[in-house]
Chain A
Amino acid sequence: MSATVPAHEPAPTPFAFFMRSTLRAFNTNKTSWVGLVIFLLVVVAAILAPWIAPHDPLEQDVLNRLKPPSAAFWLGTDNFGRDTLSRLLYGAQISLIIGIVSTFFAMLIGTVIGMGAGWYGGRFDTVVMQAMDVLLAFPSLILGLIVVAMLGPSMTNIIIAIALTSIPPFARIARAPTIAVKERDFVEACRSLGFSDLRILSVHILPNILPEILVMGSLWLANAIRTEASLAFIGLGVKPPTATWGGMIREGFENILDSYWLAMVPGVAILVVIFALNLLGDGLRDAIDPKLKGEA
């Protein structure tokens, strides 16, 4: 027993509390660290692309078409003599921008819809969630494909299409806790103090569901990147000659018989990014959901 009994620790600031629980979540499942590190490496590589790419990703070199990997072209060249490594680095920018922006909007809109449905309940809740279920059941690739085909393959339209298909899961996870918290005494107290719905929802309910939404975000970011690549592979990506991973696979697939690396390299890149995000999200989900701890 120490002589000095420590006084009550001051309550941590919300930010410190958030950081501490995040750190604890990461340490519960070490694979989340692996996922995070790999993903951040890709992000850094994408940001540094203009400085580290050995060649211009759009520069055509007819004398060096379809060259296998060499000292000058580490990952070989494509049908137009463009450097695969440089295109891969620039392509990462497109994948990440589309993935992150569309997931962000899906998260935002989905959370608002889910919290609104849970808070107001009744017929509004039934109709909205039914619509979400239908949207969830509809094949997201098909829906994305149709939206992009109708609106035209631009970066904005691809983001709209992917965001649209990713809204329902966020609405679902935002709704249930809202309903659970709604009946608690402290919410009743807030109401009797005359707090507005908006204030109760954003200050008192949102923090409770934020961790779960962020974890879902990392898993759906993986999905968004995959959908973008799939659309580009079908021919509905950001227009060529801009380098996109799905587009590179599409072009490489045409030369699969003699230059297999053209499709393989971007294919492995996509796989690594998605796997890293899944490792990250899956590990964190175990950590924040006590019911699933060490289970799923």
Chain B
Amino acid sequence: MTAFLIRRLAFACVTLFAVLTLVFVLVRIVPGDPAQLILGDQASREAIVALRHRLGLDLSITEQYRVFLVGALKGDWGVSMVTGQPVIAEVLRVLPWTIELTLVSLVLGVAAGVPMGVYAAIHRNRFFDYVARIVSLLGLSFPAFVAAILLLLMFAIVLPWFPVISARSGSPTAWFQSITLPAINLGLISAAYIMRVTRSAMLEVLSEDYVRTARAKGVPWPVIIWRHSLRNALIPIITVVGLYLGILIGNSVLTEIVFNRPGLGKLIIGALNQRDYPMLQGMMVIYTMVVVLVNLITDLTYGLVDPRVKLQ
């Protein structure tokens, strides 16, 4: 187990390093001088030189790279051009909103998707299965913002059950009201993905010999389904859920915009509109770290679910 952990951690570190390098390159392939872009055409020579110094653009490229890497790891991501606050403070302020939304949606997605996928697999090619397949295909065809606008239109405007702007104000009722629509939006789309992968993973497992053996020796059907089959179908499900978290993070940006909810999405859009380069760079660093962390957790979960993985 220790060797497995160390190997996974080492891989996570390499990934982090690689993506941070990519971020560094991306930010620097911007055509033109960032200082000029930020200050506009009217800026004086001195102002541009001063800003270049402040952004560290007057250093050599290797020196900039070193400063960037050390800073990224130490949490020193520079200062927002717009608010003057440290980037990390701004990010940490809204991060809980995005994490909360993502986790609640994921729980909804798993809670709805896994049982439906199992049920559809057991009743393969029956009515429920056909309906579930078409509906889930429709579900994963929805762009997140189109679904969000439909929900907003229906349940906040036509039927005024929920607030149009999802920012909570303390009480549990307010929290529930503010998270329901955004989480349902993302949860339904995740449920569609998870249902489909659960169904095909279960179908594969149900055709295995040991399932037939279990049936032959009279193991009760629910035990076969939930203990013998689902457990073995979990690996592909976890893989997809882990990969899906990336999509979910992207979709949460769109959902936050539609529901006017604070979070990383709103922050990155604000930074884009204001050309706040230090903020954009910081956002990429935080997304990278989240992605690497999610991958690490996914890998470790394999080890928990399937003891064989640890031995490889």
A contact set with B: CB distance below 8 Å: 31, 130-131, 134, 136-142, 145-147, 149-152, 222, 226, 229-230, 233-236, 249, 253, 256-257, 260, 263-264, 267, 270-271, 274-275, 278-279, 282, 292, 294-296
Contacts and interface: CB of A to CB of B under 8 A. Distances in A.
B200 A253 contact: no
Given A138-B287, A140-B250, A234-B253, 18 more contacts: A130-B15, A134-B18, A136-B246, A137-B243, A137-B295, A138-B19, A139-B287, A141-B250, A145-B268, A145-B272, A146-B284, A149-B272, A233-B145, A235-B272, A235-B273, A236-B272, A267-B146, A296-B200
B254 interface: yes
B155 interface: no
23 contacts: A130-B14, A136-B243, A136-B246, A139-B247, A139-B250, A142-B250, A150-B27, A150-B30, A230-B250, A234-B254, A235-B273, A253-B258, A256-B152, A263-B149, A270-B143, A271-B138, A274-B141, A275-B138, A275-B141, A278-B140, A278-B141, A294-B125, A296-B196
Given A230-B145, A253-B149, A270-B146, A131 B157 contact: no
Given A134-B19, A249-B145, A282 B137 contact: yes
Contact of A267 (B19, B138, B149, B257): B149
For the residues of A in contact with B, the DSSP-based class is helix
Contacts of B288: 138
Interface string B190-230: 00000010011001100000000000000000000000000
The residue in A139, A152, A278, A292 that gathers the most chain B C-beta atoms within 10 A of its C-beta is A139
A123 to B, nearest CB: 14
B294 A234 contact: no
Interface of B (DSSP majority class): helix
A26 to B, nearest CB: 17
A257 B145 CA distance: 16
Nearest to A282: B137
Interface of B: 14-15, 18-19, 26-27, 29-31, 124-125, 134, 137-138, 140-146, 149-150, 152-153, 157, 196, 199-200, 203-204, 242-243, 246-247, 249-251, 253-254, 257-258, 268-269, 272-273, 280, 284, 287-288, 291, 294-295
Contacts of B257: 233-234
Nearest to B30: A150
Contacts of B272: 145, 149, 234-236
Nearest to A295: B203
Contacts of A142: 249-250, 253, 268, 284, 287
A80 B210 CA distance: 66
A256 B149 contact: yes
A54 B241 CA distance: 46
Contacts, number: 127
A294 B253 CA distance: 36
A256 B149 CA distance: 9
B295 A139 contact: no
A296 B196 CA distance: 7
A296 to B, nearest CB: 4
A228 to B, nearest CB: 10
Contact of B251 (A141, A257, A294): A141
Nearest to B295: A137
A274 B143 contact: yes
A9 to B, nearest CB: 35
A140 B246 contact: yes
B246 A278 contact: no
Contact of B18 (A131, A145, A152, A256): A131
A271 B141 contact: yes
A263 B157 CA distance: 14
Contacts of A256: 149, 152-153, 157
Contacts of B269: 234-235
A152 B146 CA distance: 25
Contacts of A229: 143
Contacts of A131: 18
Contacts of B27: 150
Shortest 4 CB-CB contacts between residues of A and residues of B:
A141-B250, A139-B250, A267-B146, A275-B141
Contacts of A31: 134
A274 to B, nearest CB: 4
A209 to B, nearest CB: 21
Contacts of B254: 141, 230, 233-234
B31 A151 contact: yes
Nearest to B146: A267
Contacts of A270: 143, 146
Nearest to A268: B146
Contacts of B157: 256-257, 260
Given A234-B254, A253-B258, A275-B138, A139 B246 contact: yes
A249 B146 contact: yes
A138 B246 contact: yes
Contacts of A138: 19, 246, 287-288, 291
Nearest to A152: B31
A253 B247 CA distance: 23
Contacts of A141: 247, 250-251, 253-254
Given A256-B152, A296-B200, A149 B295 contact: no
Nearest to A291: B204
Given A234-B257, A256-B153, A139 B249 contact: yes
Contacts of B30: 150-151
